[in-house]
Amino acid sequence: MRGYQLGELFGIAMILASTAVQLFYLEPLKREIDWRLIAFSIQQTGQIQTKAAFDNRIAVLQAIKAAPELITEAETERGTAIQRFKNADAEVADYLFEKGNVENYIQWMVVGLFSLGTVLTGYGRAMEMRNKDKTN
């Protein structure tokens, strides 16, 4: 085998590697990030609705002049429920910050592998055609 043929084979391997990374790592990562963003959006809606429900409950208790203990208990429950949402918000945000940069780096790696593989493959094909013309 000649050097340019090895380069062509290496180029084909790089193109296949970039495609494999795209299919088996990058696409699933993008799907997972999208799923987490959707869950985050639903969670934000739930947080707003939960806060509104507790605020209404507290307002009703205050309007009927309920015992201060009942109002304090409702405020404590509201704080606990809202805190659960905030903890979940932080977990989603941490995940997105962590994986977002990884996704960008891998995308650049895929583009580089594909580009270099295409150049090597093209060069190998060009040399093959050039040598074929010389032998005829």
Which residue stretches of the chain have pLDDT < 70?
A: 1, 136
Q: Is residue 130 part of a domain?
A: no
Q: Is 21 part of a structural domain of the chain?
A: yes
Decide if 72 is inside a domain.
Answer: yes
The pLDDT assigned to 91 comes to: 77
Q: What is the pLDDT of residue 57?
A: 92
pLDDT at position 136 is: 66
Domain count of the fold of the chain: 1
**136 in a structural domain:** no
Q: Which structural domain, as residue segments, surrounds residue 61?
A: 3-125
Q: Identify the pLDDT of residue 104.
A: 84
How far is the C-alpha of 130 from the C-alpha of 86, rounded, in Å? Answer: 65
What is the pLDDT, as a whole number, of residue 29?
Answer: 87
pTM: 0.63
Cα 44 to Cα 37, 50, 80, 84, 127, distances in angstroms: 10, 10, 16, 12, 59
